[in-house]
Amino acid sequence: MVKMDFGGVIEDVITRKEFTVAQAQKILKDEVVVSLGYGIQGRAQSLNMRDNGIKVIIGQENTGVHKAYYDLAVQDGWVPGKNLFPMEEAAKKGTIKMFLLTDAGQKDVWPTVKKTLKEGDALYFSHGFSIVYKEQTGVIPPKNVDVILVAPKGSGTSVRRNFLDGSGINCSFAVHQDATGKAQDRVKAIGIAIGSGYLFPTTFEKEVYSDLTGERGVLMGALAGIMEAQYNTLRERGHSPSEAFNETVEELTQSLIRLVDENGMDWMYCNCSETARIGALRWRPRFREATQPVFDSLYELVAAGEETRIVLEKSKAPDYRQKLADELKAMGNSEMWRAGATVRSLRPSKQKKE
């Protein structure tokens, strides 16, 4: 690990410079890594490991709602009977079992996976949900296996894209149970093998608390909600859809957030007009003070298990998939996001320079 200064707080992190892909290959050379599930994370992580020379097999059913994922695995070059098997058969073959189903899916499949665990195996997660909320999920691993976690700070789509462009995506990692004495090596090796930009230590509990808060907050829930509020305010006061969308979303995603990504929020402010800078600095604390109680309440509900209870309850409803599709369709068909589709279609195409 290397010590890095994060705003005055020193943290130990792992980068690919001191923990190389070659080291990961050496640690994992006698392991059979099995991805249980070929969803968004399962696909990205298994493809990245395969590209990094790690022996990987896939566990994916070929029936009902699962067939599309199975077909995608075949399309990606996984061969039935060679490195693509039904879930239970694959789990039996693996020494490191990557449990990458949905949280609700993990609860349902756990009895099957549990009986395939052998002494010395590792049970791997990319989310602390099932372990931390074991009273709700029933996922309680036996004492003779390692229980480890690598949690990418982004979607599986980003995990794959960033790997392919060479940048990697930052990930947290944790060891919940070290039965073999090899858990630290195993988790770090997989973290590097899936293409992490850098790895930082956490716990299963801290990972799931921060993740659930972030998804419901800034990353998704708050972002969508605050965009809708500003768009509605502008539209209700006579601004066109094009103007409202550009001022709410397009300028953020196509300009300002890229400046934040490059050098930070203060640098973005410095690259905006004096009028914008003065106004933003004056209104920033008002938004912070208005939303702080909402975030505090959100975190408390996450820690208390209320948010996970709702997830498990809603996802097991027989009409869940249809209701989800309807909600997302309603969002996509709202004036704001229909305006967004039009705005995106009007972006100038990138011209190659001669």
β-pair partners for 304: none
Q: Are 146 and 180 in contact (CB under 8 A)?
A: yes
Whether the model clears a pTM of 0.85, i.e. scores above it, the answer is: yes
Identify the CATH number of the domain defined by range 2-203.
Answer: 3.40.50.720
Residue whose tokens read 């907050």? 217
Tell me whether residue 80 is exposed, middle or buried, using C-beta atoms within 10 angstroms of its C-beta: 0 to 12, 13 to 18, 19 or more. middle
The string of DSSP codes covering 292-324 is HHHHHHHHHHHHTTHHHHHHHHHHTSTTHHHHH
Report the top-level CATH class of 214-345. mainly alpha
What are the structural domain ranges in the chain?
Answer: 2-203, 214-345
Residues with catalytic roles: 127
Question: What span, in angstroms and rounded, lies between the C-alpha atoms of 231 and 234?
Answer: 5
DSSP character string of 191-247: HHHTTEEEEEE--HHHHHHHHHHHHHTTTTHHHHHHHHHHHHHHHHTT--HHHHHII
Q: pLDDT tens per residue, the chain (354 residues)?
A: 788 888 888 888 999 988 999 999 999 999 999 999 999 999 999 999 999 999 999 999 999 888 999 999 999 999 999 999 999 999 999 999 999 999 999 999 999 999 999 999 999 999 999 999 999 999 999 999 999 999 999 899 999 999 999 989 999 999 999 999 999 999 999 999 999 989 999 999 999 999 999 999 999 999 999 999 999 999 999 999 999 999 999 999 999 999 999 999 999 999 999 999 999 999 999 999 999 999 999 999 999 999 999 999 999 899 998 999 999 999 999 999 999 999 999 988 765 544
If one counts every other C-beta atom within 10 angstroms of the C-beta of residue 198, the result is 18
